[in-house]
Chains A and B, each alone.
Chain A
Amino acid sequence: MITPSQTVGPFFKFALPYDKGPHVGEGGTVRLSGTVYDGAGEPVPDALIEVNHPGGYGRCETDESGNFHFVTARPDAGHLSVIVNARGLLRHLVTRVYFPGARDELLESLGERAATLVAAGDGDDLRWDIRLQGDRETVFFRV
């Protein structure tokens, strides 16, 4: 039997963030920023966002306004794998952020909801919000 998950809790910011955390690999020039929202549309100030791809890993906690950011290169596959931990999440959520113009089978299969996984903007300044609940709830994965 595998070890069950428990929440990251409210107090992890003194432990898990580190200086270079938001830098995904070396030499990235794209700034990907966003906000985490709860079901009432309020920002989530105690979430930990982690992103990964074969080119590197990044970690950023949300600030008091729910904002996070990463500095990354454009991934070959067009997307980063994303894990969200927060107070109130008994297990982390898994999702993806696609760069503008990226396409794949998964996005095609999601119809309208695909938009929740695609970053907005162009060039080196992208925005992508995470909505835990609500009309525009982000697509999360069963993994």
Chain B
Amino acid sequence: MDELDELGVHPPLDWPDYRSTRLRHPKRPLVQPRLGAADLASPYLGHERVGELDHDLTRQHAGEPLGERIIVTGRVTDADGRPVRNQLVEVWQANAAGRYVQKEDQHPAPLDPNFTGVGRCLTDDDGAYRFITIKPGAYPWRNHENAWRPAHIHFSVFGTAFVQRLVTQMYFPGDPLFEHDPIFNSIRDPKARDLLVSRFDLDTTVPEWALGYRFDIVLGRTPMEDS
């Protein structure tokens, strides 16, 4: 698969069904640069920022959040299968009722005093990450009449090169809202879309405690400097 095919997996920037793209997608053709050191340098985000409980979104307050406790785990690799080691994975999400703590979120669903919905961890030597959280709720978003987002967890991931950056969303299997969601369906290839749907995994599931979901992340090729 060449570089261009690889990029073709991503959604187009111009996607009228998602209204906010209208005034925000560039209209001029994208320029193919020769990559330089600034594009390739591995971003160091201050790993001292990752606290001991940052990976466990259920233990960041005095009490436990409401909702279905889940484990979300997977591996971050590049397109050639090489693990992305010791790199930051960030997640953020709505609570079980479908409400974000951010003040701009006006969805009239309850906030949960025991849930912020922010997690961070570093990948290990195998590229693996693991979060403990609760399953987020679906929420309405006014993009069109009766618009609801399928339940999702936002992911922010770094590769070994800056240009391998990926921001995406992880979904849950069998969500009835998939077919109605223009963001999910902006990925035109159904096989590519499926890559964003986590897989229920009995081996990850902990008896009497939490359901397990697997979500592996494959970043673009690790680029070499052109010059």
Q: How far is the CA of A63 from the CA of B120 in the complex (A)?
A: 23
Partner of A139 from the list B11, B12, B28, B43 (CB cut-off 8 Å) is B28
Tell me which residues across on chain A come within 8 A of B46, comparing CB atoms.
18, 20
**With A1-B218, A9-B154, A81-B163: A44-B24 Cβ-Cβ less than 8 Å:** yes
For A, the interface residue count at a CB cutoff of 8 angstroms equals 61
Q: How far is the CA of A54 from the CA of B43 in the complex (A)?
A: 8
Tell me which residues across on chain B come within 8 A of A137, comparing CB atoms.
26-28
Interface status of B109 (Cβ within 8 A of chain A): no
Tell me which residues across on chain A come within 8 A of B104, comparing CB atoms.
10-11
Tell me which residues across on chain A come within 8 A of B116, comparing CB atoms.
14
Interface status of B7 (Cβ within 8 A of chain A): yes
Tell me which residues across on chain B come within 8 A of A79, comparing CB atoms.
36, 38
**With A14-B101, A89-B21: A6-B118 Cβ-Cβ less than 8 Å:** no
**With A5-B10, A96-B38, A140-B31: A89-B24 Cβ-Cβ less than 8 Å:** yes
Evaluate contact between A3 and B27: CB separation under 8 angstroms: no
Q: Kindly report which residue of chain B lies nearest to residue A75, judged by CB atoms.
A: B38
Evaluate contact between A106 and B33: CB separation under 8 angstroms: yes
For chain A, what secondary structure do more than half of its interface residues adopt (helix, strand, loop), or is it mixed?
loop
- Number of A-B residue pairs at CB separation under 8 A: 199
Q: How far is the CA of A12 from the CA of B116 in the complex (A)?
A: 12
Interface status of A74 (Cβ within 8 A of chain B): no
For chain B, what secondary structure do more than half of its interface residues adopt (helix, strand, loop), or is it mixed?
loop
Within 8 A of A (CB), among B152-192: 154, 156, 162-163, 165-169, 183-184, 186-187, 191-192
Partner of A54 from the list B27, B28, B41 (CB cut-off 8 Å) is B41
Evaluate contact between A15 and B30: CB separation under 8 angstroms: no
Q: Kindly report which residue of chain B lies nearest to residue A86, judged by CB atoms.
A: B24
Q: List 29 A-B pairs, Cβ < 8 Å.
A: A1-B1, A5-B167, A5-B168, A6-B168, A6-B183, A6-B184, A8-B156, A9-B154, A11-B92, A11-B104, A12-B154, A14-B102, A15-B118, A16-B92, A39-B27, A40-B23, A54-B38, A54-B41, A79-B36, A81-B38, A81-B39, A81-B163, A85-B167, A90-B15, A91-B10, A96-B38, A140-B26, A141-B30, A141-B32
B residues near A, CB below 8 A? 1, 6-7, 9-13, 15, 18, 20-28, 30-39, 41, 43-46, 49, 79, 90-92, 100-102, 104-105, 116-118, 154, 156, 162-163, 165-169, 183-184, 186-187, 191-193, 195-196, 216-220
10 A-B pairs with the lowest CB-CB distances in the bound complex, closest first: A88-B20, A15-B92, A88-B24, A57-B43, A90-B11, A142-B30, A81-B38, A39-B23, A53-B38, A38-B23
